[in-house]
Amino acid sequence: MDASQARGTATGRHRHAGRPGLLAGARSVLAVVAHPDDESFGLGAVLSYLTAAGATCAVLCFTRGEASTLRGTGQVAAERLPAVRSAEFAAAARVLGLSGAELLSYPDTGLTRVPLGELAGLVAEAAGRVTATHLLAFDADGVTGHPDHARATEAALAAAAGLGLPVLGWTLPRRVARQLNAEFGTAFTGHDDPQIALRLAVDREPQWLAIACHQSQSAGNPVLWRRLELLGDAEYLRVLRT
């Protein structure tokens, strides 16, 4: 499936089903992620949902993604990858209408070696700058099996505990995770319906445009296309902290 085919699954409408009031007070949302493209590949449709609902959204990313082996099917030299991915991140943030996009330089695949308090402190500072009412991150298990994803969420939760903020975690239905793992040998995790607080009906168009900004990572990435195909016009959130 290519991007033009997948865009056909978008409904153009936003709605949600789940526990009432979970998003009612989401006026300013800070997304906390590990790699440039997480804000688009993972959270893109959720962020565009929130901005369409009137929230201001910003993102804090801990690494420049220099350890990626994708590199646009080998077209980007490894030494250029951090700069290329930084530019892609900035472009995607503009497409998603984010109010801010901060990119740090912690080692890709090395976040678990960074003291949690240090990472949480940076999240708290960023949340203060945007007067965040909510934090958004990957689910606590990291969703994809990448330890950096779980560490970024751990930092968000640690910061939120000190700030008294709720944290929403992007997740997958278990059936989608199992299907991806069966087809690609991946390590996605998911949850059954009772463990999922919100199902959002999303417009994928802004997300597809943001994904297109990440050429070094989206080219030759069948897992991404298949995941979005399986999800259709729905994204799912868990409440990690109330």
Q: Domains of the chain, with CATH numbers?
A: 3-10+25-241 (3.40.50.10320)
Quick: pLDDT tens for 197-213. 999 999 999 999 999 99
Task: Tell me: pLDDT of 7 over 50.
Answer: no
Q: Which amino acid is at 228?
A: L
pTM equals 0.91
Report d(CA 222, CA 21) in Å as an integer.
36
How many percent of the chain have pLDDT more than 90?
Answer: 81
